[in-house]
Structure 1
Amino acid sequence: MLDWTDRHYRYFARLLSRQALLYTEMVTTGAIIHGRGNYLDYNEQEHPVALQLGGSNPQELAQCARLAEERGYDEVNLNVGCPSDRVQNGRFGACLMAEPELVAQSVDAMRQVVAIPVTVKTRIGIDDQDSYEFLTRFIELVAAAGCEQFTIHARKAWLSGLSPKENREIPPLDYERAYRLKRDFPQLTLALNGGIKTLAECQTHLKQMDGVMVGREAYQNPYLLASVDRTIYGCDTPLADRREVVEKMVPYVERHLASGGRVNHVTRHMLGLFNGLPGARSWRRTLSERAHLPDATPGLLLEAMAEVGESLEPEVE
């Protein structure tokens, strides 16, 4: 999720769930190899964390996978699902579904140089290539190259005519196709993605699939993650308290400021923490209007939280 699941969001998310596997936003091989920024930077507290790569050159993907393993990432995931024009122009993302042999070569090249899992995230089809036979051929070829784990976004992608946002909403969800894929490939580990909003829905899908990936809902309503460890993983741990999470984020923001960052780099990911509670609008407004100012301090988080009120009973899915 470009510009969303950066390292600041992932640190915040890890305070809510210790068990959920976190994914980076998609990072291109070109950025990692030729960019000036530290595109593999993350916080040690994020584990388990997977690097999601965008690219189509097997040698460059292998180089980046090796770097990711050296940096301590727990998984490398190849994105074959993003439909944006910018991604297509770079010959990666969902357009690669039309080149399963190249995806297979890329997976093989990465697996040759790393011991951590190499996984693939894909759609169920692209444009008019959306038959079940098209999908199974893609899975068969990539699995033959050694990929044992796939995340299936249960919508096809239109590579032209729809924006990335529209591609997340307009093509209809087809969960049954993903279920069928699991029945036909029981030896593979298959996770489901797309349109999942509650942990109750996750539990329903887990009766058919090996895992679920929740994207937008976990970002927009992050307290959903607080129940994941107990509800999905069966851990006997207390729910994260919203106030304690905010208090723990204050020293994190202080460290970010000391390294030259700004308060809103972090707080923009926290706007949905109090959704559904009295004062949530004041929380969002305070952070939205003041966190970007040059004189903003980490204490702004505590000021904004003071406006929420005292009734903050944890919600259970």
Structure 2
Amino acid sequence: MNKYKEVGDYQIFLYKKLGVGALAEVFVGERKKDKQKVAVKVISKQYIKSRDKQNKELFKKRLKREIAIQKSLKHPNIIQLFDVQETDNSIYLFMELGDCTLDQYCQNQIIKQEELKNIIKQVVSAFYYMSQQEVINHLQNDKLYKGICHLDLKPQNILLIGNSIKISDFGLSTALNLDENQEIIQSSEYIDNVPSSIDYLGQGSLLYMSIEQINCEKTKNLEVLDVWSAGIIFYEIAFGKHPYYKFGQNLTNPIQLQELLNTIEIQYPESQYDNQFYDLLKGMLKKNQNERLTWQQCKEHPFLI
């Protein structure tokens, strides 16, 4: 097996695999002109071609949207997409390389309040910026997104580069406003209007999925979905455990997790953190989406000022 592959101005180290999924693999690479290390997401065209007609078009739509969104987002706490290259067999996304993931960084250590505050501030800053951005998807009918929802926020998608938090993996990202999620898909043999519900209900990573997603409950503004996911992550890094682990249920089962979310209230252990942190966290994890904090309210919360 070859150890290297050259694509455009980049060299990919095939022996340095960072991750793998059904649709893509991620490797370490290097930009040849300045030797800058990068992460390379390699998306298999063969996998897309092997799907049925509707899923094939949905994958294409999501990929175009991911590229358009990540190219447009320029923020110190969001992973930068440097370049996109295409060959006969694959599509390559070249982006900033993280040092580690948030869960790796927090593993087996107690995070003190000032450090926790710094982490939360950076995550909230990125998502508040995303909520305010207007992105035009030139790859898909010049669709305008007024605000961006990530939809797959989890500790593995929050990276660190030095002391900086970086949000990554926009593969499921979409418009914040439900009314703006409809997009026409066109090809030579297939025209369809993919329902908005396909774009967010039941999507994401189970343990960090919002109560609305688990319950397949529609919401007008998808901002509340990311706020919930971030709240679960902040709970986990603060207290060293997921809020539902103590109930002894199989959290890989969506039906059991749904029952937990709908019947049991989250408990908040005593800790070193002050009351303002608890107030922020409880506001992010309100089960009633109409009572849950927005990103602007998180940003302006006394704990982060």
TM-score (norm 2): 0.26
Structure with bigger strand share is 2
